[in-house]
């Protein structure tokens, strides 16, 4: 309530926020979580919590009046449609040079993501987080994170025979025939549940195209893992449809936190102020960076250092599709949960996940999301004339990523005698180079913060999410975000409480 005073307030309920809440609560500390999105625990009039993937509705998008699907066209025809403005689950947040997809609601990105739980190659770790001890991470914190997230590998025998992974097997075959190493990657989908979906004994989710607008079953989102454990401590409270707009120091080394209460149309219906001893920023790379950039620039937190808003990257994300021959169908049934990655990091700077195109009919398309090596980094800055935070990313910077991805797919196309699809992203584009699913950085570890996420200039303020990671993770990022949060909160709990 307005005027309340709490020991710990955590802004955001994604990976960083969930880890922080659980570990502090287990240590006997009461935690107040604040989430601008919805709880996603109540079915709509169709009996489902999340909408049908083939029929996006108001639940699909965060405060948009038209869908913005990553694959925007099918056989050249645009597929986006008008929807009512609502506090839906997927935010396609548009900056000048890039659209950043993010989850909104209790669980953050875990509500909408593909569930690929990938640990970076150990030999690449010091490129990801140069100031962090790799031994500690690989011996303690990655295993702790993977266990708590429920990351597991698919049963290779089932994978090898189910129609739902025909598209993966085609992707693997083509990688092998061009000499590229590939590997299975763990996921946080319940594999027994998916087997039951395939057998027709459980309500379909991954096998019904669900992922981008939430999985009604099967996926171990944070609501089922970290946040369930946190709730069980009895020490964690979550306020939904509450958006933090300001954090300022007040007497006694405490902080006043200003919150806007939203209705499901996104209208602010009330404003509250609470005080906290400690505030953890866990709004995700973009959410945390925007807030800190604004608070520094507007003189609310003037002692934050010059690294705030810097070092932001897109994890080198770029998407493409290939057109297979008639003898290489990818299947009309495609599980939405990817299972394999093609590793050409050393030779070409690309790690490509074989992605589904779950449209329910045979497309002969192979889809890929590549994560690539790129040194392009953007900065957030406060724009006083619009009252918003801008991002300096330029679309042309994706050329490095396209070149890296081509190191895999040009070779596969030439080996297979195939071509790229030009009908999926509009305007005959081969590369979807206008988006990222993996925003990282903006309050980088060891720069904007100390080596454990303590913000410089303000004791009691911490960053605990993807904003800490300097722009790239070499693989899908949530396991690294989770493991880093585990490492940092262990230190902070031991020394700052
Ligand atoms: P995260 O974004 O998860 O959580 C931040 C939360 O804070 C959000 O719920 C937000 O609403 C809230 N918030 C922000 N500002 C706030 C404010 N001012 N007040 C109150 N609340 C606020 N990764 C991966 O490893 N494997 C994968 O397969 C995929 N696939 C994938 C698909 C899609 C479609 C997306 C969009 C993303 C992925 N990802 C992924 C990326 C992954 O989901 C992402 O890296 C993490 O969710 C980031 O975790 P964080 O804790 O940093 O923030």
- Give the pocket of ligand 1 (CB within 6 Å): 11-16, 34-37, 101-105, 108-109, 112-116, 212, 243-244, 282-285, 287, 291, 437-438, 465-466, 476-478, 481
Phi-psi sector, 76: left (phi>0), alpha (psi -120 to 50), beta: left
**At which residue do the structure tokens 């502090």 appear?**
24
Print burial letters for 43-54: b (CB count within 10 Å at least 16), e (below 16): eeeeeebbbbbe
Please name the helix (run of DSSP H) or strand (run of DSSP E) that holds residue 159, with its range, or none.
helix 156-159
> What pLDDT, on the 0 to 100 scale, is given for residue 53?
85
Active site residues: 353, 438
Ligand 1 atom, smallest distance to 116 CA: 28
| Beta-ladder partners of 420 | 322
Summarised one tens digit per residue, pLDDT across range 232-254 is: 999 999 999 999 999 999 999 99
> What pLDDT, on the 0 to 100 scale, is given for residue 52?
87
Q: Helices 478-496 and 142-149 sit at what angle, rounded to 10 degrees?
A: 110
| Dist CA 108 CA 360 (whole Å) | 28
| Beta-ladder partners of 272 | 259
Length of the chain: 497
**Exposure of 185 in the CB half-sphere (CA atoms within 13 A):** 30
* Ligand 1 site-directed mutation target among 21, 61, 109, most atoms within 8 Å of CB: 109
Summarised one tens digit per residue, pLDDT across range 67-101 is: 999 999 988 889 999 999 999 999 999 999 999 99
Token digits for 452? 């454990």
| Dist CA 371 CA 235 (whole Å) | 38
| Dist CA 495 CA 483 (whole Å) | 19
pLDDT of 2 above 90: no
Print burial letters for 155-175: b (CB count within 10 Å at least 16), e (below 16): eeeebeebebbbbbbbbbebb
| Dist CA 42 CA 116 (whole Å) | 26
In the 8-state DSSP scheme, what is residue 468?
Answer: G
Token digits for 159? 């994978």
Ligand 1 atom, smallest distance to 105 CA: 9
Summarised one tens digit per residue, pLDDT across range 8-40 is: 999 999 999 999 999 999 999 999 999 999 999
| Dist CA 443 CA 449 (whole Å) | 7
Distance 89 CA to ligand 1 centre (A): 11
Beta carbons of 56 and 27 less than 8 angstroms apart? no
Summarised one tens digit per residue, pLDDT across range 170-191 is: 999 999 999 999 999 999 999 9
The percent of residues above 70 in pLDDT, for the chain, comes to 100
Summarised one tens digit per residue, pLDDT across range 388-437 is: 999 999 999 999 999 999 999 999 999 999 999 999 998 899 999 999 99
> What pLDDT, on the 0 to 100 scale, is given for residue 266?
98
Distance 103 CA to ligand 1 centre (A): 5
> What pLDDT, on the 0 to 100 scale, is given for residue 364?
96
Summarised one tens digit per residue, pLDDT across range 95-147 is: 999 999 999 999 999 999 999 999 999 999 999 999 999 999 999 999 999 99
> What pLDDT, on the 0 to 100 scale, is given for residue 108?
98
3-state secondary structure (DSSP) of residue 440: strand
Summarised one tens digit per residue, pLDDT across range 259-305 is: 999 999 999 999 999 999 999 999 999 999 999 999 999 999 999 99
Task: Give the mean pLDDT of 318-323.
Answer: 98
pLDDT of 1 above 90: no
* Beta carbons within 8 Å of 55's beta carbon, 6+ residues apart: none
* Ligand 1 site-directed mutation target among 37, 103, 388, most atoms within 8 Å of CB: 103
Distance 484 CA to ligand 1 centre (A): 15
Q: Is 78 exposed, middle or buried (0-12, 13-18, 19+ CB in 10 A)?
A: exposed
* CA 371 to each of CA 13, 22, 320, 366: distance values in angstroms, whole numbers, following the listed order: 25, 30, 12, 16
């Amino acid at each position: 309530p307005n005027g309340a005073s709490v020991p710990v307030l955590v802004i955001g309920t994604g990976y960083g926020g969930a880890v922080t809440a659980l570990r502090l609560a287990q240590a006997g500390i009461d935690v107040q979580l604040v989430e601008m999105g919805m709880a996603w625990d109540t079915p709509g009039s169709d009996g489902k919590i999340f909408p049908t993937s083939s029929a996006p509705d108001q639940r699909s998008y965060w405060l948009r009046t038209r869908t913005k699907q990553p694959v925007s066209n099918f056989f050249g025809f645009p597929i986006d449609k008008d929807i009512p403005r609502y506090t839906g689950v997927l935010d396609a947040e548009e900056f000048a040079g890039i659209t950043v997809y993010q989850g909104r609601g209790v669980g953050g990105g875990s509500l909408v993501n593909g569930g690929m739980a990938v640990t970076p190659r150990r030999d690449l770790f010091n490129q990801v987080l140069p100031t962090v001890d790799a031994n500690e991470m690989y011996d303690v914190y990655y295993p702790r994170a993977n266990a708590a997230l429920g990351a597991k590998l698919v049963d290779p025998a089932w994978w090898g025979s189910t129609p739902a992974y025909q598209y993966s097997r085609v992707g693997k075959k083509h990688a092998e025939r061009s000499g590229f190493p590939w590997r299975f990657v763990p996921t946080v989908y319940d594999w027994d549940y998916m087997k039951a979906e395939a057998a027709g004994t459980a309500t379909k989710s991954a096998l019904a195209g669900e992922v981008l607008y939430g999985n009604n079953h099967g996926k171990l989102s944070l609501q089922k893992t970290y946040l369930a454990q946190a709730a069980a401590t009895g020490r964690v409270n979550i306020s939904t449809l509450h958006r933090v707009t300001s954090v300022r120091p007040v007497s006694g080394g405490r902080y006043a936190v200003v919150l806007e209460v939203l209705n499901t149309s996104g209208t602010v219906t009330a404003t509250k102020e609470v005080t906290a001893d400690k505030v953890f920023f866990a709004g995700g790379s973009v959410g945390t960076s925007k807030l800190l950039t604004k608070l520094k620039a507007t003189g609310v937190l003037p002692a934050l250092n010059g690294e705030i808003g810097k070092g932001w990257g897109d994890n080198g994300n770029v998407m493409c599709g290939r057109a297979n021959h008639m003898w290489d169908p990818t299947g009309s049934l495609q599980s939405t949960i990817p299972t394999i990655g093609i590793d050409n990091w050393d030779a070409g700077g690309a790690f490509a996940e074989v992605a589904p195109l779950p449209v329910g009919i045979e497309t002969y398309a192979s889809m890929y999301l590549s994560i690539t090596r790129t040194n392009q980094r953007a900065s957030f800055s406060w724009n006083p004339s619009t009252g918003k935070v801008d991002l300096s990313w330029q679309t042309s910077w994706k050329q490095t990523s396209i070149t890296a991805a081509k190191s895999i797919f040009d070779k596969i196309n030439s080996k297979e005698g195939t071509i790229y699809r030009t009908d999926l992203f509009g305007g005959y584009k081969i590369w979807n180079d206008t988006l990222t699913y993996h925003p990282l950085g903006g309050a980088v570890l060891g720069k904007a913060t100390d080596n454990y996420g303590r913000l410089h200039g303000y004791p009691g303020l911490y960053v605990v999410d993807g904003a800490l990671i300097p722009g790239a993770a070499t693989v899908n990022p949530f396991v690294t975000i989770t493991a880093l949060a585990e490492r940092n909160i262990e230190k902070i709990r031991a020394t700052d409480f």
